[in-house]
Every structure is written in C-alpha cells, then in structure tokens.
Amino acid sequence: MDTNPQLPRIGFIGLGIMGRSMAGHVLAAGHPLCVYNRSRDKADELVGRGARWCDSPGDVAAASDIVITMVGYPADVEQIYLGEGGIVERAAAGTLLVDMTTSSPSLARRIAEAARAKGCAALDAPVSGGDVGAREARLSIMVGGEPADLERARPVLERMGTSIVLQGGPGTGQHTKMCNQIVIASTIVGVTEGLAYARSAGLDPATVLQAIGGGAASGFQLNVLGPRIIAGDFAPGFFIEHFLKDLGIALGEAAQMGLELPGLALARGLYEQMAARGYGRDGTQALIKLYRH
C-alpha cells in the first residue's frame, strides 16, 4: 500500500481486537505508519500492507509525529509512556501523544505534564464502540486536552471515529469514558437478565429481541450483544477482564468523590464471579452464563 509522505507519520502501539482495525484505517488513509505490539504476529497483516515494524514503544515514538496507544491496563500505559526509554523520553519535541486506552484520569494528567515538560503535547482519547465500531470506523472518541492539540489530531481520529468530542483538560476524556462504562455496566446486566427471563418464561429469545429491540429498550447492548447471547457467541468484542479493570477505575474515582454507585458495584460483583470461573477472556455478553440453570 502506498503512503503519502506529506501526511503526518503515525505510530500505533497496541494491536489487539480494536487497535488492529484502528491502525488499519490510518494506514488505508495513506499515513506512513509505524507499529508495535507485544505479540509481533498481530502486526503481520499491517506490515504486509506497508506498515513498518518497530522493536519498542520508544522506537515508535522516535519515528512518529503523532503517537497513538491502545493497550490493556493503566500499568501498561504508565510503562510505555513514562518508563525508561519509553514514549515520552524518546519522542522529539513537538510530537503529539494520544492515549486511546481506557485508563485512569490521574495517569492521563501525569502523562500530559511529562509530555509538556519534554516540549510535546498529549491527549487522553478513550473510545467506545467495541470491535464493531473499530472495524467500521465509527467509534465514539472522548477527548481530554488542549483544543489546538485536538484539532491537530482530528484528521487522524476521524479515520477511526464519527463522534469526537473535547470534554475539557487532561483527564476529562478518561472521566467521560468512566461515565460510558457506568452506563454500560448496568445496561448489560439488564439485557442479560431480560433474556434469561425470556428463556425461563418459555419464550423464544430471538422473537423477544425482535419485539423489544425497536422500543425504549433498544441500544447497542441489546441489539448487538443480544443476538450474540442468543447464539451462544461469547467471542470478545471487549474482554471481561478489561471491563473489570474499567469498573474498578470508575468505582475508585467515585469513592474519591464521595459518590456511591450501587448499580456499578453490583455489576462488578457479577463480573468478578465470571472472572473467578475462568471467563475473563470472554466477551462481556458471556454474563448470561451466570443465569443458566
């Protein structure tokens, strides 16, 4: 695939279920693309299309005008950005750093401060939309940072998402993603329990879904994950273990604000049961397994 050297050089770190599709859209748009992932085989398809492999996150940063990261946990984010030889240390002055991982607001602020001290800029830009949104380039992107930095990143972010909204300064993108996860947590519990009820009542779950999917109950969790639940398809669009990470961050932030969120706490307890039973690498829709007789 030919790239356009006049476009910003993009570095992409983290080629999992969502990251691989996101990076692919950037490459398809003609950007010179450098990639890194802990498991190199996940980069093979992109490298075959013209991306360049780098041996470390720091090497990606040194070769890029804009660095995008989509990794697993806050500890991973901290290591690749702030660790020795990491992104902040290796990035040239003027580089824009965009973390699209769901991580903690406080870490996002620390990264922004470290980037600023190096003469770089940083955005926290977590996403919602799951594997489907990533594949179809229609993610919702929640951004924290400076308006001018978002405008610089916007042409690239538009390759991956259809809703790109600045929430405020550093960390506010992550706070907004916590709002998203809080809503999803109770919603997926409701979807699962509704379908469990339908089956116990002797109804055809698919017919029930047809009836309620166009009414007030409609939404991504019901209309996209509902059919997967009915089909017994528990392949991850989003890992349970990563969802538990997000719920823990949200509950921790809420506790610091003196806010009680009993629905969120209930959802986390249910997903902790799933993880304890060995289902942490299933998709969030696998929660239905708790309701089977």
Say yes or no: 99 and 186 in one domain. no
* Residue 164 located in a structural domain: yes
Out of 118, 177, 245, 289, pick the active-site residue: 177
The per-residue pLDDT for 46 is: 98
Say yes or no: 287 and 256 in one domain. yes
pLDDT digits (tens, 9 = 90+) for 123-159: 999 999 988 999 999 999 999 999 999 999 999 999 9
* Residue 67 located in a structural domain: yes
Catalytic residue status for 245 = no
* Residue 2 located in a structural domain: no
Say yes or no: 156 and 32 in one domain. yes
Query: Would you give the end-to-end CA distance of the chain in angstroms?
Result: 52
For 208, the domain range is 175-291
Say yes or no: 120 and 186 in one domain. no
The per-residue pLDDT for 229 is: 97
pLDDT digits (tens, 9 = 90+) for 48-83: 999 999 999 999 999 999 999 999 999 999 999 999
The per-residue pLDDT for 155 is: 97
CATH number of 242's domain: 1.10.1040.10
CATH number of 153's domain: 3.40.50.720
Say yes or no: 141 and 194 in one domain. no
Listed residues 131, 155, 170: the one ending a domain: 170
Say yes or no: 200 and 165 in one domain. no
Bridge partners (DSSP) of residue 240 are none
Say yes or no: 191 and 71 in one domain. no
Domain count, the chain: 2
* Residue 79 located in a structural domain: yes
Listed residues 138, 170, 202: the one ending a domain: 170
Say yes or no: 137 and 99 in one domain. yes
Listed residues 127, 146, 170: the one ending a domain: 170
* Residue 162 located in a structural domain: yes
Q: What gap in Å lies between CA 224 and CA 221, rounded to an integer?
A: 6
Say yes or no: 204 and 237 in one domain. yes
Say yes or no: 160 and 278 in one domain. no
Identify the residue whose tokens are 């610091």. Answer: 256
* Residue 5 located in a structural domain: no
pLDDT digits (tens, 9 = 90+) for 165-207: 999 999 999 999 999 999 999 999 999 999 999 999 999 999 9
Say yes or no: 187 and 165 in one domain. no
What average pLDDT does range 220-231 have in this prediction? 96
* Residue 4 located in a structural domain: no
Confidence of residue 1 (pLDDT cuts 50, 70, 90): low
Say yes or no: 20 and 146 in one domain. yes
